[in-house]
Structure 1
């Protein structure tokens, strides 16, 4: 029989699985349960962080896509704006050139204005001639002359090309004007084609006696002629470089100006002219064409312009205006600079004429010198 002391000892005996800890007891089951809870909480936290990371990554990706879309949109808009601007500039070239060629003030090439007061006309004998002074305009020397023949006053315009080719011709329309004492004007118009050194006009412009009675002022006769140049061939400075079919193997595009074809390299022209760069290498339809037509310009002027771009000495007093016109039109700074240098150092043109050119094409150094 167990004593009370033994019983007390048995009752107070602690299980092997208990661990004393600051008067608290944690059972194995309790520890195991807490570990599972911690693991679950940790997994939840990891999943939460993973979700946040995915969300952040997705948001960042969306922002990047939005930024790229905005950048692409801005780039496309900028490109479209540039295309429209260049398209407008190219579309205006033909109209601009036509206006320049038709304007009396803007181009001597379309009109030659001759005016002269002939002195002591009433003393002129039969079949004799009086000439005005010659004016050097558009690669030729021009002058007025009158002649007394068969009881009539004959009026003529003479043209002497500076460097005529074998097949030189100038198709023109000539308008003669003679003012009488009452300020009335007699006007007669004639179309002709100069094919050699010669004069064209009216052998019977007025009766000689009527001219003496009504048109002479103190024995002098005032005559004006406006020569409109319609077309020219073979007129001007000798060409030193070929752009014909012989250049076919070293060219990649043909530029057509009226009935003349110029075999050239796109890349070279693009390096010399922003307009050619846009036209031949840009998004315009001409960039894919083997032949590109250029309207509203003169083939001789264009030939000399190309020679200047290719480094030839094509600028003189007979070609400089045509070259600088095209250099300005096609935005070719090298050609513009060479024209200005010629006008500054070598040209024999008057200061008045140089100033007119400088003002028209914004040649500041030349303008400053003329002023």
Structure 2
């Protein structure tokens, strides 16, 4: 059928196509006569500032020929943020580009829609054929790259037994050692435990540890409750598992189940830098700072945080009033 033919032609590339390095512009050309209503076309992956980007075009139903444009960003780490300025352009009959207004957009790992920016909401494209381009300026990029476990190793045979409160858990040494300096030392150092087939892990609940392994392997991506998140952070600190901390941090950044004051306290207690950078600036607003002082969390903050962070924010808020005196 014509639609099937259009769909075949519309597959411009596999999403896993080789990344193209170079400029910060992604360009797509097409003939509108072969672009069917409802069809979606995706550009090859384009590498800009070490991040993978793709442009997606969709033809909307009915005349005139309107097209939607969506930019996709794929951070390689578990925890990342990328602030951008995106400009959409399309070529008109004269051969020149018509430029749409630039859009400032933040891509991030903790928002369900954080990997996409729909430019159609502000810049729908109306023309029959031609060329579309997006210029992507990366204003700021923050990413902590924690390597994911090797899938082949996960599927390979387990070669050591961990004993937690009398219960035995079989694991692969290399998988845990690749993720953790704690387990690297435990399994591959000169300590006597490295020669044992069974190793005791003290002061850790076996069920919690099992759930920790599921998160490490990617079987469960993030905790489902705040209480679980705290338990995972405690274990991640103990066993030095950054990838687990990254996944918990994504959960804390996305959830509305807890107040910003508790998020702030958790960030300070567990040294969660991304959560800090997102939450702390809120206390530059008077209402949030006053609310924190009245909250039960305030007494739990260490003195250095109150002095170096909150006091500085309070001084900044008071500065305009002082200047008027």
- TM (normalized to structure 1)? 0.32
What's the TM-score, normalizing by structure 2? 0.36
* Greater percentage in helix: 1
